[in-house]
Amino acid sequence: MWQQFVESFWLLAHSFSTRGAWDLAFNLFPFVVLLELPFYALVVGGMLRYGLRHWRAPARRLQYPSVSCLITCYSEGEDVRKTISSLVNQRYAGRIQIIPIIDGAIKNSDTLQAALSEARRWEGVEGREVAVLPKWQRGGRVSSLNAGLTLATGDVVMALDGDTSFDNDMVENATRHFDDPRVAGVAGNLRVRNQGKNLVTKLQGLEYMLSISGGKTGLSEFNIVNNISGAFGVFRTSLVRHLGGWDAGTAEDLDITLRIKQYFGRHRGMRIKFEPHAMGHTDAPESWRVFFRQRVRWDGDMYYLFVRKYRFNLRPSLLGWPNFLFTLVNGLLMQLVLPYLIVGSLALLLFIQPLGIVLGTLAFVYLGYLVLLLAYYLVYLATVSERVRLDLSYLPYLPLFPLFAFVTRVHSGYAILVEALTHSHLDSSMAPSWVLRKNKF
């Protein structure tokens, strides 16, 4: 087997040099050429464009819109204090209204008391208002957001998680995009706060850095941001009210992003921006079991939204051609089809080739991904990173990331299958079952 491994690896390497990279990749793994390579080339091009544009001095602020921060809280306890405090202490000339919404406040009395205590602590601070909203019966995250929206007085509304804290220039950086009247929403950046805990959190920190900080920066340059994160989303308040608030189903972040994009075809200048310097910090799962359970929900919800809820809305007349094509390739093919192409290709390779040749082929593909990943990482450091020293600490973990990405891709196929067969979105931690039944999800 070892001899077959070495022979197959060097044969592929020789073929690469004699037949050409494109021909070899197309014959071995056509989905790499057709889907992944163009996507990463697009993102890298966007990051380079962002870096070149930001060598110039930032434009002077035209206005400082009032901001309402809706903090959805359920079982954060004392951690909600950090979120409230980080918003009160923003360096921002405009008014900030902070509304912690405590879902199931009777059961979560510790979170309620922590929020009330923090509100009293900051009473009288000029330009800052903390108004705690207890919801006595649990209704889920969307129920909390819509309840908070009824009290929001700001021109800009932020949807934030109760366990997420923020840099003190976050509001300044996020709201400056609304100087442009065409901007409907802004996706905030997220870093993993507990990335140093263990290998699981370190790899998630690297994933957030590459896919959110780097990936969304690149996509934003072409107005094709794929999602406004539920933990950190910023919107024009009038637009959210025009949409009727957040929908009561699952994955409300991707849901409202798709609903906003349905206006892009009719309003060609409408935009969703990503701001890499509007920074939030959140805790990632600290065990593989919790991590994979989280991804079952994330990937299953994505299948539900693309295939069940919005399958008739994914057309260029609504989304506009750029977002239609991007949703078709990235949302449907790369997220929903590619996991099965990967598993199917591997199974076919194992069926027709000896194990040694299979391992040699996989080793060659792994090295190819690693080279591309290193190039992507270096472009990110040079053009986007605002914490270069921290991001350099991820370098020793870069060789593990292709394996991590492969495992999460395969697991994504499992999550999609679970949703397709069991309608797992109806058993979501984001909303009680009675809410989903009442809203006919």
- Sorted by where each starts, the structural domains of the chain and their CATH numbers stand as 2-52+322-438 (no CATH), 67-295 (3.90.550.10)
Identify which of 19-33, 197-211, 299-313 has the greatest average pLDDT.
197-211
- Joined together, the tokens standing for residue 419 give 């949703």
Residues in the chain: 441
Residue partners of 375: CB distance under 8 A and separation at least 6 = 44
Q: Is the pLDDT of residue 3 over 60?
A: no
- Joined together, the tokens standing for residue 253 give 């972040």
Instruction: Band the pLDDT of 22: cuts 50, 70, 90.
Output: very low
SS3 call for 134: strand
Q: What are phi and psi of 118, to 5 degrees?
A: -70, -35
Distance CA(399)–CA(13), nearest Å, equals 19
Residue partners of 433: CB distance under 8 A and separation at least 6 = 426, 427
Give the type of residue at 439. Answer: N
SS3 call for 66: coil
Long-range contacts of 308-311 (CB under 8 A, 24+ apart): 309/249, 309/255, 310/258
* Strand (E) or helix (H) holding 389: helix 388-392
Q: What's CA 226's distance to the chain center, in Å?
A: 8
Higher per-residue pLDDT: 54 or 169: 169
Give the type of residue at 371. Answer: V
* Strand (E) or helix (H) holding 151: helix 141-151
Instruction: Band the pLDDT of 348: cuts 50, 70, 90.
Output: confident
Residue partners of 391: CB distance under 8 A and separation at least 6 = 209, 380, 381, 385
Q: Is the pLDDT of residue 78 over 50?
A: yes
Instruction: Band the pLDDT of 438: cuts 50, 70, 90.
Output: low
What is the DSSP-derived secondary structure letter of residue 330?
I
Residue partners of 367: CB distance under 8 A and separation at least 6 = none
Distance CA(409)–CA(415), nearest Å, equals 10
- Tokens 């360096």 sit at which residue? 91
Q: Is the pLDDT of residue 288 over 50?
A: yes
What is the DSSP-derived secondary structure letter of residue 353?
S
Q: What is the mean pLDDT of residues 134-150?
A: 91
Instruction: Band the pLDDT of 412: cuts 50, 70, 90.
Output: very high
Q: What is the mean pLDDT of residues 221-240?
A: 95
- HSE on the CB side for 42, CA within 13 Å? 20
Distance CA(427)–CA(421), nearest Å, equals 13
Angle at 199 between CA 197 and CA 204, to 5 degrees: 85
Question: Mind listing the pLDDT tens digit for each residue in 414-429?
Answer: 999 999 998 887 777 6
Q: What is the mean pLDDT of residues 100-109?
A: 91
Q: Is the pLDDT of residue 49 over 60?
A: yes
Question: Mind listing the pLDDT tens digit for each residue in 270-287?
Answer: 999 999 999 999 999 999
Q: What is the pLDDT of residue 9?
A: 52
Distances (CA, A) of 258 to 84, 88, 254, 280: 29, 31, 6, 23
Higher per-residue pLDDT: 255 or 1: 255
Q: Is the pLDDT of residue 385 over 60?
A: yes
Q: Is the pLDDT of residue 26 over 60?
A: no
Predicted TM-score (pTM) of the model is 0.90
Q: What is the pLDDT of residue 354?
A: 75
Q: What is the pLDDT of residue 56?
A: 63
What is the DSSP-derived secondary structure letter of residue 210?
I
- The β-bridge partners of 272 are 185
Mean pLDDT of the chain: 88
Q: What is the pLDDT of residue 384?
A: 95
Residue partners of 213: CB distance under 8 A and separation at least 6 = 189, 191, 276, 380, 384, 385
- The β-bridge partners of 160 are 71, 232
Q: What is the mean pLDDT of residues 387-402?
A: 95
- Joined together, the tokens standing for residue 82 give 């950090």
Residue partners of 315: CB distance under 8 A and separation at least 6 = 324
- Joined together, the tokens standing for residue 17 give 């040099």
